[in-house]
Amino acid sequence: MGRDSPPTGGPTRRDVMQYGGAAIVSGVLAGCTDDGGTEPSPDPTGPATGTETPGETSTRTTTADASYTVSMEPVGTLEFESVPETWFPYTADYADMGVALGQGDGLAAIGVKARFGSHLYAELPGVSVAKDELTELWQGGTGKEIYYDLDADVHIIDPNFMLNRLQWSHADVDEIRRNVAPFFGNTVFSSAYEWHDYTSYSLYEAFEKLAHVFQERERYEAFKQYHDEVLADVRDRLPDETPDIALLYPADVPPESFYPYLIGEGTQSKHWNDLEVGDALAQHGITDAQAGGGAIDFETLLHIDPDALAIRLQGEITEEYFDGEIRSHLQDHDVAGQLQAVQNDRVIYGGITYQGPIIHLFQLEQAAQGLYPDTFGDERLFDRQRVADVVTDGGDV
């Protein structure tokens, strides 16, 4: 179903949002794991500077009606006459950014609920998202009608993600942009997709763009300042020699093969880059699953023999589950048991794909504890209350 002509009647609050010079780039379909390049796959993947990309400045226009513009590739420039009240992303990195900016109440939907790590918010006093109440955009596919039903003020989604991962057409994207609300976003979680041949943003560059959309500069600055403090402390304590790791997603559980994920420039890799690890898969010419690489088995891993294995799993994963389904299975496996990572007890949980500024802090902490237990142990590497205060109170805390 769909509504191919603009609705009749007077202007709505979203009529104030306009595109200026928007450019939607088409591209070839880039396959990921075993789903032919469409959502959802087992894992559809998903140094901060806080600065604007040259030529991509975001500004607030100081006019009587308080309108402002925000620019981001590939959508160009949007003009807002008021701050969006309702919104949704497809990938949970942007959901986490929005929550960090105090916009959780306006979050209406998410692509796949299981890939939104909102369970981590339970450690932040006063911060929560009713994930059960969010609309799940993936329903055996993602059609246009759900966008009409949700009737949000802005879609925090790269339109090229809709074209290349969800097989929408340019006409589909333009219809929703005209009839419902604009798209604003950039696929930042991965740098592997062939079609992403335009500017990519770091986590904090994308976060800053979204802060402009919601006019939440103070919250952004507070997060940026604290992130820099935490990261500086962690890096000061890293050992002189850091390990080469293999980042893997199980094809099945318990696993006999894995989809390989390289540690690239995408936001999904930020905590690994922060910890200055080497990429054992890239060093041996393995192709990223997001770039069409196939699954690899234990024999291939034994040839590579990484220092550590980081096993990525979506959803809320307990230590008991990871021990029983992953770590113990590898220890008992005839081939996997020969890996030095298994023998040296360096099989660690690799986290989830999509991370904004809140989830990143949790994943940085967990990865540091897993890779360097003698240095970080079970130590909390960031102050939960301080992060919660930024979300709930905003500004400098």
pLDDT band at 389 (very low <50, low <70, confident <90, very high): very high
Least confident window among 56-60, 195-199, 251-255: 56-60
Is the predicted pLDDT of residue 358 greater than 70, yes or no? yes
User: Please, which residues bridge with residue 77 across strands?
Assistant: 20, 71
pLDDT at residue 122, rounded to an integer: 97
Q: Are 13-231 and 240-387 the same fold in CATH?
A: yes
Is the predicted pLDDT of residue 337 greater than 60, yes or no? yes
* Over residues 321-350, mean pLDDT: 97
Specify burial of residue 9 (Cβ count, 10 A radius: 0-12, 13-18, 19+). exposed
For the domain spanning 240-387, the CATH number is 3.40.50.1980
Tokens linked to 150: 């949700």
Is the predicted pLDDT of residue 5 greater than 70, yes or no? no
Which residue did the predictor score with more confidence, 48 or 279? 279
Which residue did the predictor score with more confidence, 21 or 136? 136
Q: What is the pTM of this model?
A: 0.86
Least confident window among 52-66, 94-108, 137-151, 302-316: 52-66
pLDDT at residue 334, rounded to an integer: 97
* Over residues 4-10, mean pLDDT: 33
pLDDT at residue 60, rounded to an integer: 38
pLDDT band at 65 (very low <50, low <70, confident <90, very high): low
Residue of 166, 147, 124 whose CA lies nearest to 14: 147
pLDDT at residue 66, rounded to an integer: 85
Which residue did the predictor score with more confidence, 16 or 199? 199
pLDDT at residue 394, rounded to an integer: 82
Is the predicted pLDDT of residue 9 greater than 70, yes or no? no
369 Cβ contact list (under 8 Å, min separation 6): 376, 377, 378, 379
pLDDT band at 61 (very low <50, low <70, confident <90, very high): very low
pLDDT at residue 191, rounded to an integer: 87
Domain ranges of the chain: 13-231, 240-387
**How much is the mean pLDDT over the chain?**
87
CATH topology of domain 13-231: Rossmann fold (3.40.50)
- On whether the CB atoms of residues 277 and 263 are closer than 8 A, the answer is yes
**Other C-beta atoms lying within 10 Å of the C-beta of residue 152:** 21
Is the predicted pLDDT of residue 172 greater than 50, yes or no? yes
DSSP states along 47-101? -----PPTT---B----TT--EEEEETTTEEEEESS--SSEEESSHHHHHHHHHT
Is the predicted pLDDT of residue 97 greater than 70, yes or no? yes
Tokens linked to 279: 């990429």
Is the predicted pLDDT of residue 42 greater than 90, yes or no? no
Is the predicted pLDDT of residue 3 greater than 90, yes or no? no
25 Cβ contact list (under 8 Å, min separation 6): 74, 160, 195, 197, 198
Tokens linked to 88: 């949704």
Is the predicted pLDDT of residue 53 greater than 50, yes or no? no
Specify burial of residue 210 (Cβ count, 10 A radius: 0-12, 13-18, 19+). buried
pLDDT at residue 395, rounded to an integer: 62
* Over residues 360-368, mean pLDDT: 98
**In the chain, where does DSSP find H-type helix?**
92-100, 145-150, 159-164, 170-179, 203-213, 217-236, 270-274, 280-283, 298-304, 319-322, 328-332, 340-343, 357-371, 373-376, 384-393
Q: Name the 3-class secondary structure at 247.
A: strand
As a whole number of angstroms, the distance between CA 268 and CA 247 comes to 11
